[in-house]
Amino acid sequence: MNAPMSIKGRSSPARGRERLVVIGNGMAGCRAVEEILARAPDRYDITIFGAEPRVNYNRIMLSPVLAGEKRFEEIVINPQEWYDDNAITLVWGDRVDYIDREHKSVVARSGRVEPYDRLLIATGSDPFIIPVPGHDLDGVVTFRDLDDVDRMLAAAETGGDAVVIGGGLLGLEAAHGLSLRGMKVTVVHLMPTLMERQLDEAAGWLLRKELEGRGQTILTGANTKHIHGVDGRVVGIELEDGTRVKADIVVMAAGIRPATGLAKAAGLDVERGILVDDHMVTSDPAILAVGECVQHRGLCYGLVAPLWDMCRSLADFATDAPTGYSGSVTSTKLKVSGIDLFSAGDFSGGEGCEDIVLRDASRGIYKRIVLKDDRIVGTVLYGDTADGNWYFDLMRRQEDLSDIREGLIFGQAFASGGALADPSAAVAALSDDAEICGCNGVSKGTVVKCIEGGAHSLDAVRAGCKASASCGSCTGLVESLLSVTLGGDVESGPKAMCKCTSFTHGDVRRQIVEKGLREIPQVMQELHWSTPDGCASCRPALNYYLLCAWPGEYVDDQKSRFVNERMHANIQKDGTYSVVPRMWGGITNPRELRAIADVVEKYDAPMVKVTGGQRLDIFGIRKEDLPAVWADLNAAGMVSGHAYGKSLRTVKTCVGSEWCRFGTQDSTGLGVQIERMTWGSWMPHKFKIAVSGCPRNCAEATIKDFGVVCVDSGYELHVGGNGGIKVRATDLLCKVESEREALDHCAAFIQLYREEAYYLERTAPWIERVGLDHVKERLFSDPDTVAQLAARFRFSQTFMQDDPWARRAAGERSDLHSHIATVRPVAAEMEKA
């Protein structure tokens, strides 16, 4: 999609409309258009030129995309439908090369000429490339757009070493993402303090300590002298002091510069940025400019919040209701998971200023407020940023704080004499123009208006005004506003995992991966569990999530399992247990039947029953006999059927084409292969599979978690069935032609379920929650996804089928290799059978 492309075009403007041409399809340009459309939807005939071959997306959310927390589709601000619905011509992948002011037209690289009545320049900024030898080597990248992210992701696929030049916001977010992707990261920063424009020395030291604790190497006061390469490819960097650092990729994040080349060539007044007045008008009355490319009252802004203020003023002027932009006070938050950091204003101090400082070393908290004439001029918060918005609002409004000065550092609730101890009351006290969502420039008044207009849930607010729709750091504020505005009428969202935490299952799963949490106590500490050791609800869930996130690394915690899983048998109401050995696909042989009969006689089991999953269940086994029972069954080559586990239970089959006159495929053989592939796999809940040899469906495949129905032309794959209290028929996932495809799709579906579903959520409610379309999109949107998911599943199985738990279930007490040697010959024998 590199060729210039017009998504939607018109040959001439609509009658009576002025022609507005926008150079820049980014956040500022499109936000300005949104503001204009909100005021006068029929005023302009709009054409937008974008250099990138894609729709408008949230550039400040590139960091979560790099870190794997978001997909590109989730950060799109204006999808294709927005351009279509507003009759906007989007010309993407075609950079404007020339502005002809005399003839009031622009000329694109493709040769396209577009006339304008009004022109809006929103070209943003360009990354600053340090002009050191080797800066043009392959593998030296910037961090400004999605193409840069794709280049970094490609480098991270093979691991290796990454060097990030620049310890500012972008540099640290790039370092965080590459670190999460498995690279060994070194940050090289010229100044002695990280983020020196936003942090003082104390907060910078805390930040450095935290990042180093996450495995990153931080080099401050370090000047890059040379970037070295071999055969045109980067291999490392050299610093002024002679230090050399190995690098498979070098990310330049040393700053940005307003993109003014186009405006300068057109003869507009330019200094550091394109000069604009309070209405965003340049030195040419027909040309406006907005965003990072402009200079207003001597200042250029590189953060997103001022852009929204500029866009509102621009739209007022462009629709004949001029108000004027007087500049912005900015605040900063670092989008690195698990690091709470807030900075605003000027904290350099100086004559007439005084500092109020709070330090809590044990909790890693540092707060500093800079006052001048009893008004806040700057603040730095690290470790506890809950009052950041309040301080920022006080600073922006320049309120006299002499009456609450003594309690100011302890936050809004304390400074207000306890009257605002309730977070909802605290947010209610904010002014209507206080910023709630910095990512999307949404004020408190806008959120309240959205709620009063019918948005009675968090998701509805996100959809209505975009507050909390990007990085999510303002979610608590939005929820408080919902509570204040609606009282008890707030529509409930996902529930907390249990009474020990306020986090949902989805939150916990995401945080485990983002923060690299690998132990249950570590999860509880990092996520602020309210109980010392958790409870019977959260401990099994945490144990599963850690098993799923870190196969081969995390050691299964037996005390965090339910009693049946610890005993490897199902407890009965009389205190005895039932034991179910595995029968692959429902097939057995004399050796196995003889072993079962011997166990029944030896341990005086009162009953043996054929289960619905085509196995034999031995009832009445005493707890003290369980190890010996499993030892005897294992001696005959039988392993646990996991009839008690949150795992694969059974693979039910019919006899298929080998015996049945209606059979179309070898359903028994395929069922054995599927069971061999999936046994021992831990899952959010029990999981049942069936393979029916023809559409008559004797194995009842259409009420299983995963079902295969054989047909003449191949295999129909069904998902999400349930034959329990709430019966649910399966949904048709897809149709495949070969057994190999059926196996791969089964493995891929299971892995997707394991990675996305909540603990104790079966496939039926999971699919009803996320939707079948979501499942299909996750599996089939990319031709490689099925293979990738299947590979992850098979990788995890190498640990799950051979882990110490499986060894104990088989009655083994020797080492892992002994277990493998015992189980695999049995599997080979089953294949021969």
Check the annotation: does 471 bind a ligand.
no
Please state, in angstroms and as integers, the Cα–Cα distance from residue 369 to each residue in 142, 342, 399, following that order: 34, 12, 14
Residue 120 phi/psi, 5-degree rounding, is -120, 120
Does residue 135 come out as left (phi exceeding 0), alpha (psi in the -120 to 50 range) or beta?
alpha
Check the annotation: does 698 bind a ligand.
yes
Identify the bridge partners of residue 258 per DSSP, sorted by sequence position.
125
Residue 345, both tokens = 């204003």
The Cα–Cα gap between 638 and 249 comes to 51
State the Cα angle at 191 between 185 and 192, rounded to 5°. 85
360 CB-contact burial (10 Å; exposed 0-12 / middle 13-18 / buried 19+): exposed
Q: Is 743 helix (H, G, I), strand (E, B) or coil?
A: helix
Cα dihedral 199→125→44→107 (10° resolution): 180
Helix H or strand E encompassing 629: helix 626-635
Cβ contacts of 771 within 8 Å, gap of 6 or more: none
Does residue 454 come out as left (phi exceeding 0), alpha (psi in the -120 to 50 range) or beta?
left
The Cα–Cα gap between 37 and 233 comes to 48
Check the annotation: does 548 bind a ligand.
no
Q: 């932009």: which residue's tokens?
A: 325
Identify the bridge partners of residue 683 per DSSP, sorted by sequence position.
none
* Number of DSSP helices (H) and strands (E) in the chain, helices first: 27, 41
b/e map of 326-337 (b: 16 or more CB within 10 Å)?
eebbbbbbbbbb
The Cα–Cα gap between 437 and 477 comes to 9
Cβ contacts of 408 within 8 Å, gap of 6 or more: 356, 369, 401, 415
Does residue 269 come out as left (phi exceeding 0), alpha (psi in the -120 to 50 range) or beta?
beta
Please state, in angstroms and as integers, the Cα–Cα distance from residue 376 to each residue in 19, 386, 388, 441, following that order: 45, 17, 12, 22
The Cα–Cα gap between 104 and 114 comes to 9
Q: 């959120």: which residue's tokens?
A: 447
Q: Is 397 helix (H, G, I), strand (E, B) or coil?
A: helix
DSSP 814: S
State the Cα angle at 804 between 802 and 805, rounded to 5°. 95
Question: What is the end-to-end Cα distance of the chain in Å, rounded?
Answer: 53
Q: Which residue in 511, 576, 470 sits closest to 63, CA to CA?
A: 470
The CB density around residue 737, as the number of other CB atoms within 10 Å, is: 10
Check the annotation: does 439 bind a ligand.
no
Angle between the N-to-C axes of helices 739-756 and 667-678, in degrees from 0 to 180, rounded to the nearest 10? 40
Residue 380, both tokens = 């730095």
Determine contact, residues 249/138, Cβ cutoff 8 Å: no
The Cα–Cα gap between 645 and 654 comes to 24
The Cα–Cα gap between 387 and 833 comes to 69
Annotated binding site for siroheme: 698
Annotated binding site for [4Fe-4S] cluster: 654, 660, 694, 698
Annotated binding site: 654, 660, 694, 698
